[in-house]
Amino acid sequence: MNIAQMKHETTKVPVVDTKVSNDNASEIASFTIYIDPEKESAALRKFDVYLLPVSVVFLVLSALDRNNLGNARVFGFDKDIGLKGDEFGNITLLSSLCTIVFEVPWVLAVKRFGANKSLGTALILWSCCTLGTAFIQNYGQAIAVRMLLNTFEAGLAQSFAYLFSTIYPRERIGKRIMTTNLAMCISGAFGGLFAYSVQTMGNQRGLAAWRWLFIIEFCITVLVGGIGWILLPTSAEKAWFLSEEEQKTMRLKRQRDFVHRGEDNFDPKWVKFALTDPFIWFLGTGFFTSSVAINGFGVFCPTIIAGLGFPSLQVNYLTVPIYVLGAISLITQVYYSDKLNKRGVFIVGSCIPVAVGYLICIFTANTVAGNAQKAKLLAEGATTNGLEGDMSLDSMYIL
């Protein structure tokens, strides 16, 4: 057999037993599992075609259902269910706690039962909570429904990140995981336009416009998300859209990656290792602080814009340029991060404009960035375009 034939031979490669313990890693490393690069690329391209769009759709719908509470607030949510003081903030706080608690269980569910069963179940359950939001009547119901919604959405982004990690090599995974934040930008831009369109409807059939916002969102989520549910694979090695040869390639890839990833079993010693690693704590702190800014901004952005003096009908579509700029920045940074194979410089670099923006918002006297006199009037209970002053001011301080 000549060299050219050997390069395209994938059926006679040694097969590594993935149940071998980590103590035998050196023995495993002595095996060479060769996978034809063209066949591997062909399989990965199918995941790009069938899986990536589904992940974007799921994440956009999830963020839309979660963040449009802020858009609903602009046209009467607080008043209609009788919220006072910090109660809206309490709803978002308690909902976020559910996200923290249930992220890991959902990822474990994807690992145990497969992506299609776990994420499909999550889709149906959070869709029901979205519809339930349209019919809440008081503060207690709002807390219950939104906590349940965040519970069912909690591990969506993390589950897709886990799924991608079982499919793509490390040097190619950045642009795929980017879809999580890109979905946030898309939902922010689309959500603003969508909310503006619904708001122009006014009250219909005895229901306020903000209630129709969630009813229509439910219909879109069930229809579009349901189609995506059908396309979701069980796992990388059993994806329905792969040919038998491509499924075999993915199984070989998993065996090859075993040298780097180790056993696919839970071991408490790795939990201890992670909790005692300073880098994990440093990285976790960075993710926590950035998540506070991102999630808080998504919910309270419409309220802040309304607090700057814009009419409520304009508020929702004025959020669009913010997310468009964010999407452009995200795509640019991830592209060059993958191309240069550097992460840290882009992570630190992206923090600089965020810090500058918050400093400007806090210390400037400019009206657009946050006039001190306006804040004083809001604190005294003045109203701006139908929004209670203390609501706008609270949202500024929360951010």
- pLDDT tens digits for 50-86? 888 888 888 888 888 877 887 788 778 888 998 888 8
Instruction: Determine contact, residues 160/58, Cβ cutoff 8 Å.
Output: yes
User: What's the pLDDT tens digit per position in 1-14?
Assistant: 444 444 444 434 44
* CA–CA separation, 86 and 267 (whole Å): 43
pLDDT of residue 234: 84
Query: How many other CB atoms are there within 10 angstroms of residue 247's CB atom?
Result: 17
What per-residue confidence (pLDDT) applies to 259?
A: 63
Among the listed residues 240, 241, 248, 190, the one whose alpha carbon sits nearest the alpha carbon of residue 216: 190
Instruction: Give the integer Cα–Cα distance in Å for 375 and 153.
Output: 35
Closest CA to 168 of 266, 258, 250: 250
- Quote the CA–CA distance of 342 and 332 in Å, as a whole number: 13
Lookup: tokens for 334: 């991830």
CB atoms within 10 A of CB 360: 13
Q: Is the pLDDT of residue 135 over 90?
A: yes
**φ and ψ at 357, to 5 degrees?**
-60, -45
Of residues 306 and 227, more confidence is placed in: 227
Q: What integer pLDDT is reported at residue 341 of this predicted model?
A: 77
Answer whether residue 395 shows pLDDT above 50.
no
Confidence of residue 134 (pLDDT cuts 50, 70, 90): very high
pLDDT of residue 150: 92
Residue 378 pLDDT exceeds 50: no
Which pLDDT belongs to residue 360? 77
Residue range 364-379: mean pLDDT, rounded: 47
CATH T-level assignment (fold) for domain 52-232+265-285+294-398: Growth Hormone; Chain: A; (1.20.1250)
Alpha-carbon gap, residue 100 to 88, rounded angstroms: 19
Flag whether pLDDT at 208 surpasses 70: yes
Using one digit for the tens of pLDDT, what is the confidence trace for 294-306? 666 666 677 677 7
- Of 219-223, 308-312, 330-334, which has the strongest mean pLDDT? 219-223
Give dist(CA 196, CA 316) in Å, integer.
Answer: 5
pLDDT tens-digit map of 21-37: 444 444 444 456 777 88
User: What's residue 109's pLDDT?
Assistant: 92
pLDDT of residue 125: 92
In which band, very low, low, confident or very high, does the pLDDT at 106 lie, cut at 50, 70 and 90? very high
Q: For 148-180, how does the pLDDT look when each residue is reduced to its tens digit (9 = 90+)?
A: 999 999 888 889 988 888 888 877 777 787 777
**HEC string for the chain:** CCHHHHHCCCCCCCCCCCCCCHHHHHHHHCCCCCCCHHHHHHHHHHHHHHCHHHHHHHHHHHHHHHHHHHHHHHCCHHHHHCCCCCHHHHHHHHHHHHHHHHHHHHHHHHHHHCHHHHHHHHHHHHHHHHHHHCCCCCHHHHHHHHHHHHHHHCCHHHHHHHHHHCCCCHHHCHHHHCHHHHHHHHHHHHHHHHHHHHHHHCCECCECHHHHHHHHHHHHHHHHHHHHHHHCCCCHHHCCCCCHHHHHHHHHHHHHHHHHHCCCCCCHHHHHHHHCCHHHHHHHHHHHHHHHHHHHHHHHHHHHHHHCCCCHHHHHHHCHHHHHHHHHHHHHHHHHHHHHCCCHHHHHHHHHHHHHHHHHHHHCCCHHHHCHHHHHHHHCCCEECCEEHHHHHHHHHHC
Q: What is the pLDDT of residue 102?
A: 92
- The pLDDT of residue 377 is 35
Cα 107 to its chain centre, rounded Å, is 14
Is the pLDDT score of 311 beyond 70?
A: no
Q: Measured between alpha carbons, how far is 200 from 194 in angstroms, rounded to an integer?
A: 10
**Residue 399: is its pLDDT beyond 70?**
no
The number of residues making up the chain comes to 399
User: How confident is residue 349, by pLDDT bands cut at 50, 70 and 90?
Assistant: confident
| Average pLDDT over the chain, rounded to an integer | 75
pLDDT at 266: 66
Please tell me the distance from the alpha carbon of residue 169 to that of residue 6, in angstroms, as a whole number.
23
